[in-house]
Structures are given as structure tokens and as C-alpha cells.
Amino acid sequence: MKKIKFSSVYLVLVFIILYIPIFYLIFYSFNQGGNMNHFTGFTWAHYQELFSDKRMLVIVLDTFLIAILSSLFATIIGTFGALGIAGRKSQRTKSALLTLNNVLMVSPDVIIGASFLILFSALGIGLGFGSVLLSHIAFSIPIVVLLVLPKVNELDPALLNAAQDLGATNWQTFSRVIVPYITPGIFSGFFMAFTYSLDDFAVTFFVTGNGFTTLSVEIYSRARQGISLEINALSAVMFLFSLLLVVGYYFVNRYSHSRRQKQRRHAKSEVTLS
Amino acid sequence: MAAPIIELQGITKTYDDGFTALSNINMTIEPGKFYSLLGPSGSGKTTILRLIAGFTNASSGAILFEGQKINDLPANQRKVNTVFQNYALFPHLDVFENVAFGLNLQKRPKAEIKKRVLDALKLVQLPGYANREISELSGGQQQRVAIARAIVNEPKVLLLDEPLSALDMKLRQDMQYELRELQQRLKITFIFVTHDQEEALAMSDEIFVVNDGKILQSGTPVDIYDEPINHFVANFIGESNILPGEMLADYQVEFVGKTFECADAGMKPNEKVEVVLRPEDLDVTTAEQGKLVVTVDTQLFRGDHFEIIGIDDDGNEWLIHSTNPVRGGKHIGLTFEPEDIHVMRFGEKEADFDARLEQYEED
């Protein structure tokens, strides 16, 4: 009999512990009884309730709108930020700027949220969609900078010289050489900013006003009022959605990776032929 | 002499930290010739190339292109193209798109671009590679694409920054022939930066020897090999035996305690000089017939010749290239002709050196 290794047992155990709460939640979203104590029978009722809850659907759409818009703006601003940091000549300025960027990454959301609230009220900006969007853009920028910067640093300056040498203006060098080269970094920055915005609670909690709310804030306030299994249904849908995202990302990655490998094999066979 | 296509006049390049990369560089480049900038790494040869390409600015001095000062002309408006050391091909574009990059920027008609790109690829012997990805190519093939990408724009001057240094020995030699042939076919000026003296000697019409940000000597490969101006050039170009000596009179030089007839003149009597003897100019003979007698220390077979190191009675080391190995006795004699001796003065400037050479060769 094959001996079961301790390390694999450990891994399985860790993952079970990590996933049990989620599956517990999803399991009870099908419960006929209105609570999570006893499973009395299977039903889709909570899902029906969810999809007929107009308010909830508007909030879901708003949340996605905020996520898409904020990550889009953050990606544009952050990419230029990364290019700016990489373009500094002095190593000292570079690391100073990068440190300032990283401080924003690690500082607690609560502090960032509170500071935004103070800022917005000082400037007289009303709380609502605009304030949430602005704060999401702001806390996403450092993430984008962090993910784009390695790609910018990887860029061989000789490529820029080559473009100029072939007659490219600064703008043409930027649009035809720099951007295509750092695109993978821009994409991962965008997706990371998107997920950060989607699941942000702390910052949003401070800056949503009365009229406007996002999913995480709404779920929190509903959960405080008492347990409704509609939340479970929503969680199940969201979980499924993120699962699809991850699987999709995996396949996109694998596709491009295998394409690259095929090319490499190609190149190798050529060398042996010549 | 044709009108120069590029001239550097008194070029000096000093960096912010005070480091002087180039000092008072004067160069005249004529159209249609193959030039080499030869020097060890850090000598400033690549900086000269970058100045001509427009990637860096001179601190003082003038760069002229066809008589026009181009110091402030940005790189993208200069009629020169560069082949970079690591090729600098765009990894996100395929071979065709890389070569077409310059023509696309000029917004040429599609049909013309296609024709010129395919012609350029044929010229560098890569027909049928148009749709390959850059990552699919070997080093030598990438090298060719880089050359095609530059020459497709029909530059008046092609700058090559150590383009062969990343290739293996065999491929490098093949590419030397191909580059030379290409230059003669296209009749455009090549300025080739290299630290490999064999490469420079084999390919160039004219060589500039650069060291410490100065041009030490310029001339044809044969001139520079036969008449190196100083210790550095003699040592850097080819192998040599360099000995301290004294010029007794015109055509008479003394070294290792003996007086020899030589072919150099125009120096002060009893001037201290250095004497160069190339290892292939030394012929091995018997100890009795030799002008010099050395004891064989080591002997290595190098394939096309034997490399012998001998030591004379004064302890000087002699490097000898001989087609035949030394057999028997350890004492051998060395002979050489008066023309094989080349005398170098200390601290002589290139202009004075050329003037002196001309003066006594006329006599």
C-alpha cells in the first residue's frame, strides 16, 4: 500500500478549512427553512428572490461599473506613473518614489477611507457615486504602478534608441514600442485593480453617502439586520463568477504559454537542422 | 578625395560626474568606405557612434553631415541607421514588421514597403523568414534581421555597434565576409565599432584606433599594422615584441646591446625609442647564423603555426611565430630584415608621425 505523505494530508486539510465556510454558505442557499441551522429541503426560492430584488441588482451593476471605471482610470494613471518613476535618472529619487507608492499599498484601508472622508467633506464634495469612484481610482493606482513597473524596467533602452533611429518621434516610440512591450503588465495591473475595487469594503464604507452603496457594504448592512438566505444565494453566484474568472484566466495563460513553447521548439529544431 | 559625408571637429564629451569620455576627437568620413573604430571596452568608441547617431550630445565641438552641422538634430531626423550590439529587435513584432518599422513610419505605400522589405531580407539571405517571430530566430538570423531593418531605409551611413560580438567564432567569420560584401554592393558608408582587431583588419578600408577617449592613430589596416604609432597600438593590433632601444643615427638602431640596420629615420641622434618586431617576421635559424640568440622556453602548436617563446641572455622574452617546430637544441638563432624593425618615438602625435614618415620616405 502506498504510504500517504504528511505534506499532502496537510495541504488537503488546509484547503478544506479554507473552503468549508464558503461551501457552507452556498449549501444553505438551497435551504427551504429560512435559516442556517437545519437543512430542511432543497429550493431555488432564494435565487428567485435575489433575481427579483431590483435594489440588489442595481447595486451589483453599480459595483461592477465602479470597478470597471476605477480600474480603467487607475490603469492609465498608474502606467504613466510607472513610466515616470522608471524614467528618473537618480536611483535615489526612484526608490523614494517607489517607497511612497508602497506606503499607500500597505497602509490600512480604514485610515485611507477615513482620510478620503475628511478630504471630501473639506472640499465640499458630496458623497455618492463620484466619491466612491475617486477613492477607488486613488487606492488602485499604487497597485497598477507596482505591477507595471517591472515590465518597464525590463524594457531595453536600446529598443527606444532603435525606434528613434528608424525615425520614430517620441509619441511613435511610446505607442509602437513602449506600450506593446509593457501590455502584459498593464493587463495584470488592470485586473488586480478590478478585483481590489470589486471587493473593497473599508474605504467604500467611509465614502458612500446615503443614496449610493456597493455590494460589500450592502451585504454587510443586511447581515447586520439579520440572516437572509438571499445573501447566501448572492454569495454563491459571486463565487461561481470568480471561479469562472480564474478558470478563464488560467486557460488564457496556458494558451499563450503553449504558443510560446511551440515557438521555442520550432527555433530549436531549426538550429539542429542548419 | 571625395567630399566628406561626416566630420567630427574637436568633439569632447564630459559627463555630469566629470568623467571625460571623449577629448578632442577629429574624424573625417568619406562616402562609400568601410571604417572601423577599434579600441578596448570603455575606450569611447561606442560613444563616438552614439554621437553620430544622435543618442547623446557632445559637450563641445561640431558634428557635420554633408557639411551641415547636426549637433542639435534629433536622432529620428538623421540620415543614418544603426545596427545595435544586441540587435534591439522589437520582440512584439515579427520579422517583416521589424524590417518595415522605418518605412511604416515614413507612411510609404503598402506595396512599396512589401517589396523593399522582401528585397532587404533577400539581401541578408533570409528570404522566406518574413513571418517568423523574433524569438524563433537564432542569434545569427537576428543579426541579419537587424541589418535588414537598418539598410531597408537606405541610410547614407550605416553605424554598426559591435554587431558580431555575440556570435560564435565560425558565424562571426562568415558574417565578416558578408558584411564586407554587402557594403561593397550597397556602396554606403559603414562605421563599424569593434574591440576585435582581427575583425577590423579584415574588413576595413580605414581604422581609427581609439583609447581613453582619444584617437591614437588612423589609417589603412596595413599602415596601422606595419607602422603602429606607439606601444599601445603595437600591442593592441596583432602580437608584437616591444623593446626599449636607442636611435644611434638615421637607419641605425640599438637594442638588446646590439646595433641593427633599420628602415626608420628622422629622429634626434641617440633618442630613446621603442622597437617593434612582429613575431611572424622573426625567422628561426641556427645559433651561429642568428642576429639574436634565444633559448626556447615553450613551444605551442596553434594549428596554422607554432608559437615559440624564447628568452635571450638579457632575460627579454621573444614571441616567435614559425611554420615549423624547433627540433633538437634549445638554443636557436633569430634573423630578420631591416624593414621588419619598426621604431616608435615616445609621445609622438599622429600628425608629426605622418609628416616624419612622408619626409624620409621621399628621400
Q: Tell me the one-letter amino acid at A249.
A: Y
Backbone angles phi, psi at B160, to 5 degrees: -125, 115
Its ipTM equals 0.81
SS (H, E, C) chain A: CCCCCHHHHHHHHHHHHHHHHHHHHHHHCCECCCCCCCCCCECCHHHHHHHHCHHHHHHHHHHHHHHHHHHHHHHHHHHHHHHHHHHCCCHHHHHHHHHHHHHHHHCCHHHHHHHHHHHHHHHCCCCCHHHHHHHHHHHHHHHHHHHHHHHHHHCCHHHHHHHHHCCCCHHHHHHHHHHHHHHHHHHHHHHHHHHHHHCCCHHHHHHCCCCCCCHHHHHHHHHHHCCCHHHHHHHHHHHHHHHHHHHHHHHHHHHHHHHHHHHHHHHHHHHHHC
| CA dist., res. B204 & res. B202, Å (int) | 6
pLDDT at A1 (0 to 100): 55
pLDDT at A255 (0 to 100): 73
pLDDT at A258 (0 to 100): 62
The alpha carbon of residue B87 and the mean position of all alpha carbons in its chain are separated, in whole angstroms, by 20
**Contact: A161, B136; criterion CB under 8 Å:** no
Check whether A268 has a pLDDT greater than 50.
no
Among the partner-chain residues A159, A166, A176, the one whose CB lies closest to the CB of B153 is A166
Task: State which fold the A47-232 domain adopts.
Answer: MetI-like fold (1.10.3720)
| CA dist., res. A70 & res. A242, Å (int) | 19
pLDDT at B102 (0 to 100): 93
pLDDT at A271 (0 to 100): 44
**Contact: A165, B82; criterion CB under 8 Å:** yes
Smallest CA–CA separation between B81 and chain A, in Å? 6
Q: Give me the residue label for grid cell 622556453.
A: B297
Give the residue from chain A lying closest to B83, CA to CA. Answer: A162
**Contact: A156, B74; criterion CB under 8 Å:** no
Which residues does B contribute to its contact with A (CB < 8 Å)?
53-55, 74-77, 80-82, 84-86, 88-92, 101-102, 105-106, 133, 135-138, 149-150, 153
Q: Which residues of A touch B137 (CB under 8 A)?
A: 267
Decide the pairing of beta strands B271-277 and B342-345.
antiparallel
pLDDT at B329 (0 to 100): 63
pLDDT in tens, chain B (363 residues): 578 999 999 999 998 888 889 989 999 999 999 999 999 988 999 999 999 999 999 999 999 999 899 999 999 999 999 999 889 999 989 999 999 999 999 999 999 999 999 999 998 888 889 899 999 898 889 999 999 999 999 899 999 998 888 888 888 888 888 889 889 988 999 999 999 888 999 899 999 999 999 999 999 999 899 889 988 999 888 888 998 988 888 888 888 888 888 888 888 888 889 999 999 999 888 888 888 888 888 888 888 888 999 888 888 889 999 888 887 667 888 899 888 888 888 888 888 888 887 777 655
Residue B324 Rama label (left phi>0; alpha psi -120 to 50; beta): beta
CB B78 within 8 A of CB B5: no
- Which among B273, B5, B272 has a CA at the least distance from the CA of B159? B5
pLDDT at A226 (0 to 100): 74
CB-based contact (8 Å) between A168 and chain B? yes
Q: Give me the residue label for grid cell 608559437.
A: B307
Interface mutation target, options B15, B57, B82, chain A, most CBs of A under 10 Å: B82
Among the partner-chain residues B75, B90, B138, the one whose CB lies closest to the CB of A164 is B75
Instruction: Tell me the per-residue pLDDT of A239-267, one tens digit each, with 9 for 90 and over.
Output: 898 888 888 878 877 776 666 555 545 55
**Contact: B149, A166; criterion CB under 8 Å:** yes
Smallest CA–CA separation between B202 and chain A, in Å? 26
Among the partner-chain residues A158, A172, A183, the one whose CB lies closest to the CB of B84 is A158
Tally: H helices and E strands in chain B? 9, 20
* A159 vs A38, more confident: A159
pLDDT at B297 (0 to 100): 87
pLDDT at B33 (0 to 100): 93
pLDDT at B316 (0 to 100): 87
Q: What is the separation, in whole angstroms, between the first and last Cα of chain B?
A: 25
**Contact: B133, A270; criterion CB under 8 Å:** no
**Contact: A164, B55; criterion CB under 8 Å:** yes
The alpha carbon of residue B350 and the mean position of all alpha carbons in its chain are separated, in whole angstroms, by 16
pTM, entire model: 0.79
Among the partner-chain residues B75, B82, B138, the one whose CB lies closest to the CB of A271 is B138
The alpha carbon of residue A54 and the mean position of all alpha carbons in its chain are separated, in whole angstroms, by 26
CA distances from B188 to A165, B3, B119, B159 (A): 17, 14, 17, 11
* B350 vs A14, more confident: A14
Decide the pairing of beta strands B283-285 and B271-277.
unpaired
Angle at A208 between CA A207 and CA A212, to 5 degrees: 160
Average pLDDT, chain A: 86
Give the residue from chain B lying closest to A182, CA to CA. Answer: B92
- Which among B241, B328, B248, B228 has a CA at the least distance from the CA of B292? B241
- Domains of chain B with CATH codes: 6-226 (3.40.50.300), 240-362 (2.40.50.140)
pLDDT at B34 (0 to 100): 94
Smallest CA–CA separation between B156 and chain A, in Å? 13
Give the residue from chain A lying closest to B53, CA to CA. Answer: A165
pLDDT at A273 (0 to 100): 42
**Contact: A165, B53; criterion CB under 8 Å:** yes
Cell of A192: 488586480
Instruction: Tell me the per-residue pLDDT of A57-95, one tens digit each, with 9 for 90 and over.
Output: 899 899 999 999 999 999 999 999 999 999 888 889 999
pLDDT at A28 (0 to 100): 87
Check whether A171 has a pLDDT greater than 90.
yes
Among the partner-chain residues B92, B102, B136, the one whose CB lies closest to the CB of A166 is B102
pLDDT at A49 (0 to 100): 86
| CA dist., res. A84 & res. A102, Å (int) | 16
CB-based contact (8 Å) between A89 and chain B? no
**Contact: B54, A164; criterion CB under 8 Å:** yes
Q: Tell me the one-letter amino acid at B130.
A: A
CB-based contact (8 Å) between A271 and chain B? yes
Smallest CA–CA separation between B56 and chain A, in Å? 10
Check whether A100 has a pLDDT greater than 60.
yes
pLDDT at A272 (0 to 100): 41
CB A62 within 8 A of CB A129: yes
Q: Give me the residue label for grid cell 529620428.
A: B76
**Contact: B75, A180; criterion CB under 8 Å:** no
Q: At what angle do helices B110-123 and B139-151 cross, to 10 degrees?
A: 130
Coil vs helix vs strand at B197: helix
**Contact: A163, B85; criterion CB under 8 Å:** no
**Contact: A270, B77; criterion CB under 8 Å:** no
